[in-house]
Structures are given as structure tokens and as C-alpha cells.
A and B are shown apart, each in its own frame.
Chain A
Amino acid sequence: MITALLLGTLYGLVIGLIPAAGATTGLVILFGFLSYFTDPYLGVIFCMATVAASTTGDTYSGVLLGIPGANSAAATMVDGHPLAKQGKATYALTAAITTSTVNGLLWGTLTFALLPWYTELIMIFGIPELWGFTMLSLACVGFVSNKFWVRSIIAIILGLWLGAIGTDPYSNVARFTFGWYYLEDGIQLMPMVAGLFAIPEIIDGLKQGKATTQPHDTRGQTWDGIKATWKYKWDALRGGAIGAFIGFLPGIGGGVGDWMAYGSTIAANPKEEFGKGNIRGVIGPEGSNNAQKATSMIPTVLFGIPGASYAAVLMGLFMYLGFELGTPDLSYDTKFFSSLTYGFMWGTVLVAAICIALNKYICRLSYVPYKYYFPILTGFVIWACVQYTGGWEDYMILALCSILGIAGKAYKYSRPAMLMAFILSYKIETLTIQMNALYTWDTLMIRPIFIGLIVCIILLFSLSISKNKMEYS
């Protein structure tokens, strides 16, 4: 049991450290190795430890290299990487890991201990509320837009359009695919994230031809990072609560919770500057990601409805191990729930201990000149992006997304905004179609959660537009 936990944690950490990899990619790889688990419960522990460790580990590449380990770490990168450039990588990473761990344990306990009690909650959150929540996420994009607000709007529109490539959810007809089969399932998330963020950063680093950050005195940074988490505990807990809520909602996985947590941190601290190395900008989103991973297990385990993309793969892995998520029989399998809890909770603790103990050594990675990283990083990024089919189409899409990312970076079109809009595009469209088919104004106006969300959306849009206009003028 301990061996499965340890191996799962180490594997997850390694996967997390790889730029543009993450829990989903790490779990996909496991498909080939599950037959080695003679005891399926050990497989559950291994998988859950992998999820916990990769979520913590993917902070490293975002902070140290400016390349998000997974799309969920992209929000942390915005303030984390500038801190690393200032020689405060250990400080940023310790704060991130501490926040992640605390929220992972807190929400992990609430999730796994109270799993059977959540059934009722998800039943009152219907299509209009999901639509409202998704629109609220889009409103948050305003907060991550840069001061060139017209370009940000263009980036959002472009992201929405890219997200609409694939199959029309109304007619099931291919659209914007230019006759290319491959695009009928849409552009995959991984090449989009890697193209927008990883590749431009790698090329930029290569052009500069120097270390990501210069060696600094790291003494005291670990303790400072832990203290910062305590000092900004409300940002951490707010981020955790947002991530936990997003994780609970089926299908709104990925980086949505992190970006919302980041947006809320900015909104809660209007007098502070973000994007240039504010530790609160690290603590806010990092509070979200482990909490999100924990709570996304609720719809996954209870209903067999994956709460996020990694959870869909996890469902397949568990099925292979003989556990059918969402079946009533499973709720009587206490050993399964114990393994789930054991793997996630102890994986979270173990990876935190490893990371904090070895932080200053791992951070030295950032002192290595980019020219040494270039082939390794490029190799891993490409490898991660061609896991979909392995065909030339994967390479082509990665190349096109990379061109977009490089152009976006050069001409200051907000790449985070583009990515958010891309992720939310299909969701917004389908939920709008469903809401139109199932509800009328009269039936919508008697839903208090929906009305509350609409009010929040209006406030957020107004705030973001006025804020951006002020910056523009």
C-alpha cells in the first residue's frame, strides 16, 4: 500500500514537473500499466496519489519557466514567474505548495468524508445555474485581460471561435473544419495550451540564451513562503472555496477555477498590482487547484459523470480495475472509498513534504541556461501534444497554435483571455441552446441562484470594462 502511494506520488510529481503535461496526460499513460496491479485497490491508491502529486508538481514549470505544467497552473504562472525572475522562486513555490496542500487536505477531507451527503446539492444546480456560472467565468476573463482592452476583446472573440471549431451542437454538422476530419472533434486542449504558452516561452528563452533566473540567495525563502500563506490566508481559503465549487460542477474543470480564484484575488485587492510578482496572485489560484481536484471526484464517483477531463480518464482507469463509478453497488465498497481517500490525502501530504524539503534544489533548475532546456522541453511539449492521435495532424495543430501564441505574445493580445474563451466557448453555446429549449423567462425568474449569478455577471462585466477603459485612457 505504501509502495503504491510512494510510486504514485513520485510519478505524479515527475509528470507535474514536465511542462504542458499534467494529471490527464499522466493518467492516460497509465492505461498501459494497469495490468501490473494485481490488487485493484492498489491501482486506485496509485492513481489518486498521481492526481494529487501532479497537481502540486505542475506549479514548478509555471513558476520557474513561465510554462504551465498543465492548463490548471497557468493562472499561478502570471505572478509566479515574475517572482522567480526576481530570484524569489523558492518563496513563490513554497507559498504555492503550502496553499495547495492546505486546501487539498481541507477540501479532500470534506469531499471524501462527506461524499454521500453531496447528492442533494448537485440536483438543485440545473442548466440555468450552470449557464450562469459559465458566463460568470467568462466575465472573469475581463480581469485577466491586459490594458490593451480592444486587443483582449479580439483575443476573447478569437478564443470563442476556436472553441466553436468542431461539430455544431445543434445540428451535429461539422463547422469551421475546412473539410478536415480531424477538426470535427474540435481543437484539443493540450496543443492549445502548449501553443499559446509553452512554445512562445521556450522560443523566447532560447532567443535570450540565458538562465530563466539568476542565482539569488534563497535562505529564508521557504519559511517566508509558509508565512505568506498564513498572512494571506483569506486569499488562499477564498481560492480553495472557488476551486472546490468549480470542481463540484461536472464538466467545468481545467483552469476555470484557477482563473476565477485569480480574478477574485485581484478583485478583493483592488489597490495592489498584479502580474508583476505579487505573492497573492500565486496564493489565490493555488488555493483552487487541489481543492478542485478533490471536489471533482464528487460528480465522478457519485454519478459516474466526470467533473473534469482528468476525471474522465480516471473513470476509464477505474473501470479497467473493475470499479464502475456511479453504480449503487460501489457505495457499499468501503475499501474503495478508503483507497480513494488514502491515495489522495497521503499523496497530497507526501508530495508537499518532498517539495518543501527539496525546493531549493529543484529551484536550481531555473539557473540552468535555456539552451540546455530547449531540446528537453520542446521534446516533452511535443510528446504531450501528440498523445491524442500521434499522427501528423497533432503536429500541425500544435504548430498552428504555436504561431498563434507567438503572435499573441509579440503583439500583446491577451493569451490567458484567449484560452479562457476557448475553454468556455462550447459550454456557453450548448448551455444556451439547452436553456432555450427547456426554460422560458417565467420559469427562469423563479430560480434564485440563477438570478444571483446574473447579478454577479452584470457587476463583473461592468467592473472589468470600466477598469480596462480606465487603464486604456
Chain B
Amino acid sequence: MKKLLALCLMAFTTVTMANYTLVVPQGPGGGLSVWSQIVATEMNKYLDEEIVLKHLPGAGNIAGVNEWHESLQEDSKVMVATSGGNAIKFLTNPSVVYDYDYDAIGIMNLNIIVAKRVGTDGSIFPKGLGHAPEAFAIAMLFCGPDMTMEQYKACFKENVNWVPGMKQKEFRLAFKRGETTGSRENPAAFKKHIKPVIDAGEAEMWFHHGILDASTGNHSDDANFPGYQFEILFEEKWGVAPSGEFYDAYKLVKSVRDGLQKAIFIGKWSPHAETLRAALEQVANNPDSIAAIQKKIGKYGWTIGEAGNKHVGVIMSMVTEDAYRTLIDFTQDALGEVVEYKESLVK
């Protein structure tokens, strides 16, 4: 009992002595939580005051970020960590009140990698709002260019078994067993869960979405998986580069999700933003620190400070009326998600 009380006291002391707080909108052990812990540990090496995580789970990562947006950001020492899931819900979920109008400490611009079982077309795929970019890409790869929205919807429904009710751990196992024929992962999880299946000769790389270039708004091939970018494969298969409203909607949704896959923000005009950014710069320049982060995420870089703000600005400028309406329309009708078009987001 004394031991426990001592532990509780230590925990209490650690929290009350914390000078910076990083709000994590999920419980301990989740992907974003583990990433946040690793980043905070590395940043603490370069800060006089310690960053301590505060977990605020609920509503699929929405509740914590909403709470930070509405009240906690007023404390200039409280940051928030967000995921690609948060970003995609920002576009589609009516319960979201956060808006990304903050100061970026740092953003990791990542990618999602898609694989299929050998000898299949990958069309048995796990459903999920976070998988919307994969659905767009699969629809275009299967159905080709120059189709109307209604044709894309019909073609997708006819060709793809969009399997509902699967959590991440379930669809990983289902793919390994061959119950689903397509699957997708972030780079670190891909290495862990899909690469062994590929190495066993049971699966193969299908495509990835590419890396967002914040200066142009376009995507380039991922050096970790060269030659498998969607745009390259589409052109190889159909003889033309992808274009049109449907492709613009795809670019929007993949940019929002992958471009904001892992991010740390602080309230605008926080006097501590520069200190924190400087610490993150040091993390990014220290090979040991960056190796610790890349061990979890893969070899992807940071966009820090003002460059991060610009990166967010480019993503938000892609929310045009046509692309956004197409995104909502397809996500609702073909993917069966309950989503909302938010007039206020349109540039």
C-alpha cells in the first residue's frame, strides 16, 4: 500500500510540476498517444520545462481536440496532438468544432500504403471514414477516367465489397488470413503488419497516395515505396493522368488526412511557441532523436513552425466547393458514411 501511495504521489508530483501540457485526444497506448510520448520525451531534452501528456479520450478523438479548442488552448502552455483521423473528421463530422486555425509546432506529413492479396484485385476492403482516400483511389483505378459521379458510385458499389464493422486490429488479421483481399496502413504499421505477408509471398504492394508538397499542393512519389504512387499507376493503366472533379476530391481528402497525419499545435500568439519550435528543430536535427521517432513512424520529415502554418494553409485552400461537394457526395452514397457538408469551410 505504501508503495502504491508513493507511486501515486510521484504521479501527482510529475503532473503538478509539469510546465507544458500536450493534450492527446485518446487513451494511453493508442498510435497518436505513443507517438506523442516519444516526441515529448525527445523535446524534453531541449527544454528547461517538461512536457507532460494529458489524455482526453472520447468520441473517436473528437472530444479532446474540441475541449482543447474551446477552452484549454487559452492556456499558452497547453498544446494539442492531432491525427489524420481528426483531420478527416474536421471535414465531415458535424460534432467537430476545432478548425486548425492555430500555431503549428510541428507536423509530420505522412502517407498511407495499400496492399492486396496475391491473385486478387484487392476489392474486399475494410470500410471506414478514415479509408475514404483509398476508396477514391480504388474507384478510379477500377473504373478509369472521365466518369460522372453517379457512374463512379455505381462502379464502386458493383466492384468493391466495402466490409463494415472492422476495427484496425480486426482488419489486419482478416487480411493476413485472406478474408479481406485489400488493406492499408501507415508506413510504420505497414512494415509491421503487411510486409511480413508480402515477404511470405501472399500479398503485394498495390499503391500509395504520395507525399504532399506544400509549395505546390501536388503529391510526389514516396522514396520509401518508389513507383507505387497512385498517379503513376493510374497513368500506366489508363494511359492518361487522373483529372477532373472526382480526382480533385481525392486530392483534397488525401491531403487533409495524410498532410495532417501527426501534428502538434498551440493556441495562436502563445509566447511559448518559438521555444517549443526551437526544441523540435533540435530534435529534427539530432540523428539519435529523429531515429527514435522514425523507428515508430518511418523515414518522414518534419514541417516545423511557420512552414507548418503554411502547410496547413495550402491544405485548407484545397477545400473548394466542387471538390468538397464531390467528397461528401461519394462518401455518403457510395461508402455509407453519415457526413455533413460544412459551408463555412469552403474557400
On A, residues with C-beta under 8 Å from B are 10-11, 14-15, 18, 28-29, 31-33, 35, 122-123, 126-127, 167, 169-174, 181-182, 184-185, 250-251, 299, 303-306, 312-313, 315-317, 319-320, 322, 324, 326-328, 388-389, 391, 393, 429-431, 433-434, 437-438
Q: Let me know if B56 and A389 touch, CB within 8 A.
A: yes
Q: Let me know if B59 and A182 touch, CB within 8 A.
A: yes
Of the A-B pairs whose beta carbons lie under 8 Å apart in the complex, a sample of 20, sorted by A's number, is A11-B3, A15-B4, A18-B4, A123-B177, A126-B177, A169-B165, A170-B164, A171-B336, A181-B66, A250-B173, A251-B169, A299-B173, A304-B193, A305-B169, A306-B169, A315-B29, A324-B188, A393-B58, A437-B161, A437-B164
Judged by DSSP, the binding face of B is helix
Can you list, as one digit per residue, whether each of B176-188 has a CB less than 8 Å from chain A (1) or not (0)?
1101100000001
Q: Let me know if A182 and B63 touch, CB within 8 A.
A: yes
Q: Let me know if B193 and A303 touch, CB within 8 A.
A: yes
Q: Let me know if A170 and B165 touch, CB within 8 A.
A: yes
| B14 interfacial contact with A, CB 8 Å | yes
Known contacts: A18-B4, A172-B338, A437-B161. The answer to whether A326 contacts B192 by CB under 8 A is yes
Q: Let me know if A326 and B193 touch, CB within 8 A.
A: yes
Q: Which of B34-42, B231-239, B264-272 contacts A (4 or more CB under 8 A)?
A: B34-42
| Cα(A328)–Cα(B193), bound, Å | 9
Shortest Cβ gap from A436 to chain B (Å): 9
Known contacts: A15-B4, A438-B124. The answer to whether A185 contacts B57 by CB under 8 A is yes
Task: Give the chain A neighbours of B180 by CB distance below 8 A.
Answer: 438
Instruction: Select which of A14, A32, A322, A430 is within 8 A of B167 by beta carbon.
Output: A430
Which 4 pairs across A and B sit closest by C-beta, in order of nearness? A316-B29, A433-B165, A184-B59, A430-B165
Most chain-B Cβ atoms within 10 A of its Cβ — which of A10, A123, A172? Answer: A172
| B11 interfacial contact with A, CB 8 Å | yes
Q: Let me know if A31 and B37 touch, CB within 8 A.
A: yes
| Cα(A28)–Cα(B57), bound, Å | 14
Q: Let me know if B55 and A184 touch, CB within 8 A.
A: no
Q: Let me know if A388 and B10 touch, CB within 8 A.
A: no
| B99 interfacial contact with A, CB 8 Å | no
Known contacts: A304-B193, A388-B57. The answer to whether A171 contacts B338 by CB under 8 A is yes
Judged by DSSP, the binding face of A is helix
Q: Let me know if A322 and B179 touch, CB within 8 A.
A: no
Q: Let me know if A127 and B60 touch, CB within 8 A.
A: no
Known contacts: A14-B4, A306-B169. The answer to whether A313 contacts B28 by CB under 8 A is yes
Shortest Cβ gap from A452 to chain B (Å): 19
| Cα(A28)–Cα(B27), bound, Å | 9
Given contacts A14-B3, A171-B337, A304-B192, 17 further A-B contacts (CB under 8 A): A14-B4, A29-B7, A32-B14, A123-B177, A172-B337, A174-B59, A181-B66, A185-B57, A250-B173, A299-B173, A305-B173, A319-B34, A322-B295, A327-B192, A430-B170, A433-B165, A437-B165
Q: Let me know if B164 and A185 touch, CB within 8 A.
A: no
Q: Let me know if B62 and A184 touch, CB within 8 A.
A: yes
| Cα(A391)–Cα(B72), bound, Å | 14
Residues B44-90 near A (CB distance < 8 A): 53, 55-60, 62-63, 66
Q: Let me know if B63 and A184 touch, CB within 8 A.
A: yes
Known contacts: A126-B179, A429-B165. The answer to whether A181 contacts B170 by CB under 8 A is no
Q: Let me know if A181 and B95 touch, CB within 8 A.
A: yes
| B334 interfacial contact with A, CB 8 Å | no
| B301 interfacial contact with A, CB 8 Å | no
| Cα(A315)–Cα(B129), bound, Å | 25
Shortest Cβ gap from A435 to chain B (Å): 9
Task: Give the chain A neighbours of B174 by CB distance below 8 A.
Answer: 126-127, 434, 438
Task: Give the chain A neighbours of B4 by CB distance below 8 A.
Answer: 11, 14-15, 18
Q: Let me know if B193 and A438 touch, CB within 8 A.
A: no
| Cα(A327)–Cα(B189), bound, Å | 9
Residues B143-202 near A (CB distance < 8 A): 161, 163-167, 169-170, 172-174, 176-177, 179-180, 188, 191-193, 195-196, 199
Q: Let me know if B164 and A433 touch, CB within 8 A.
A: yes
Shortest Cβ gap from B54 to chain A (Å): 9
| Cα(A316)–Cα(B30), bound, Å | 7
| B111 interfacial contact with A, CB 8 Å | no
Looking across the interface, which residue of chain B has its beta carbon closest to that of A307? B169
| Cα(A412)–Cα(B15), bound, Å | 43
Q: Let me know if A184 and B60 touch, CB within 8 A.
A: yes
Task: Give the chain B neighbours of A299 by CB distance below 8 A.
Answer: 173
Shortest Cβ gap from B170 to chain A (Å): 7
| Cα(A306)–Cα(B95), bound, Å | 30
Q: Let me know if B165 and A319 touch, CB within 8 A.
A: no
Instruction: Select which of B33, B163, B169, B338 is within 8 A of A316 by beta carbon.
Output: B33
| B296 interfacial contact with A, CB 8 Å | yes
Looking across the interface, which residue of chain B has its beta carbon closest to that of A305? B169
Known contacts: A184-B62, A303-B176. The answer to whether A430 contacts B166 by CB under 8 A is yes
Task: Give the chain A neighbours of B106 by CB distance below 8 A.
Answer: none
Shortest Cβ gap from A427 to chain B (Å): 10
Instruction: Select which of B66, B170, B188 is within 8 A of A434 by beta carbon.
Output: B170
| Cα(A433)–Cα(B164), bound, Å | 7
| Cα(A185)–Cα(B62), bound, Å | 10
Shortest Cβ gap from B251 to chain A (Å): 23
| B308 interfacial contact with A, CB 8 Å | no
Q: Let me know if A169 and B164 touch, CB within 8 A.
A: yes
| Cα(A429)–Cα(B165), bound, Å | 8
Known contacts: A11-B7, A326-B193, A438-B163. The answer to whether A167 contacts B60 by CB under 8 A is yes
Q: Let me know if A328 and B14 touch, CB within 8 A.
A: no
| Cα(A89)–Cα(B194), bound, Å | 50
Residues B1-35 near A (CB distance < 8 A): 1, 3-4, 7, 10-11, 14, 27-30, 33-34
